[in-house]
Copies of this chain bind each other. A is one copy, B any other.
C-alpha cells in the first residue's frame, strides 16, 4: 500500500486538492504534521476532522522525527497519509520520513500543493528572478544574528529578488519552565514585516559604522506580504523605513526585497503601493 504526503496549501480547509481530499477519505490513518506552520495558519485538527468527516491524528515534532515507525506502522498493508501545510517538501524532516518509508519498502506518493515559495508570485514579481531564499531570525535580548544579510547582498548584486521567510517561535519554553521541566509553553510569536525591516535597517547601519557601504538603505523598496492566499491577504510595497510602521495584521508575514525589476513588475508593485493619507 501507499504512504501519502499531502500538501494542504496556504491554510484554508478548502485549499486541499480534490485528489488530496479523496486520498484522505480512503486512508486507514491520517496524521497532521502539527509543528511547523499549522498553528500559525490557524488550521486546527478539529476543523479538519469536521471537514473531512474522519479522525485526524496530530503528529508533533518528536513523533515525526523520532517515532516515524509509529506513523509508518502497517503502511505496507494499509494506506496511511500525513498532512502538511503548504507543499510537503518545505521542511527537511519530511525527506527524512520519506527515506524511512523507502527503507521499509513502502511506496511513497506526494500530493503537491501551493506553498509560500511559489505563491509569492501574486505580488507580481517573477519567480524566475528570485535568488536564494533567506530566513530572517527574530532578535532576542542578547542574540542578534545577521547572517542573512550576506545572502540578500549576493542576490541584490545579481539583480535578483530575495524572499525573506520570517521567524516563527512556537512551543518555546521560558528558561524557568525549561529548568523546572515544566511543559508550559510561551504564546507563539511571529516576526512581522515591520520588525524584520527594523532589524534590516539596524544591520545596514552597523555595516556603515564598520566602514562598508551597505547593499541597501532604509529607502530601499520592499514588499510585505501577509496571509497570502487568504481572503484578508495584504500586500504592501513601500520603503524599508515606511514598512517599519506598517501594520500588516495577523501572521504569517513574508518580506521581499526586490532586485532589478521589469516595467511590468513595477506596474504590479505600484498597485500595492502604500496609501499615504
Instruction: Give A contacts to B, CB under 8 Å.
Output: 7, 9-10, 12-19, 21-22, 87-90, 92, 95-96, 98-99, 102, 110-115, 117-119, 121-122, 124, 126-133, 135, 154, 158, 160, 228-229, 262, 264-265, 267-268, 271
Q: Which chain B residue shows the least CB distance to A267? A: B99
Give the interface centre of A112, A121, A132, A264 by most chain B CB atoms within 10 Å: A112
Distance between A48 CB and nearest chain B CB, rounded to angstroms: 12
User: Which residues of the other chain, B, contact A133 by a CB distance below 8 angstroms?
Assistant: 127-128, 130
20 extra interchain contacts, Cβ-Cβ under 8 A, other than A14-B18, A112-B229, A113-B113?
A14-B17, A14-B19, A16-B18, A17-B18, A18-B21, A87-B118, A87-B121, A88-B121, A88-B122, A89-B121, A95-B124, A95-B265, A102-B271, A112-B122, A112-B228, A114-B118, A117-B118, A117-B127, A128-B133, A131-B132
| Neighbouring B residues of A131 by C-beta, 8 Å | 131-132, 160
Enumerate the 9 nearest inter-chain pairs by beta-carbon distance, A residue then B residue, closest first: A89-B121, A112-B114, A14-B19, A118-B118, A14-B18, A112-B119, A117-B118, A128-B133, A95-B124
A7 / chain B contacts, CB cutoff of 8 Å: 114
Of the candidates B14, B126, B228, B262, the one whose C-beta lies within 8 Å of that of A22 is: B14
The 6 listed contacts between A and B (C-beta, < 8 Å) are: A15-B17, A17-B18, A112-B114, A117-B118, A129-B132, A132-B158
Given the interface pairs A12-B19, A17-B9, the reply to whether A115 lies near B113 with Cβ below 8 Å is no
Q: Which residues of B contact A267 (CB under 8 A)?
A: 95, 99
CB distance from A6 to the nearest CB of B (A): 11
Nearest CB in chain B to that of A16: its residue: B18
Most chain B C-beta atoms within 10 Å of own C-beta, residue among A21, A95, A264: A95
Q: Across the interface, which residues of B come within 8 angstroms of A98, CB to CB?
A: 124, 268
Complex Cα distance, B88 from A19, in Å, reads: 19
Q: Are the CB atoms of A119 and B87 closer together than 8 Å?
A: yes
Least Cβ distance of A20 to chain B in Å?
A: 8
A115–B55 alpha-carbon span in the complex (Å) = 30
Contacts of A87 in B (CB 8 A): 114, 118-119, 121
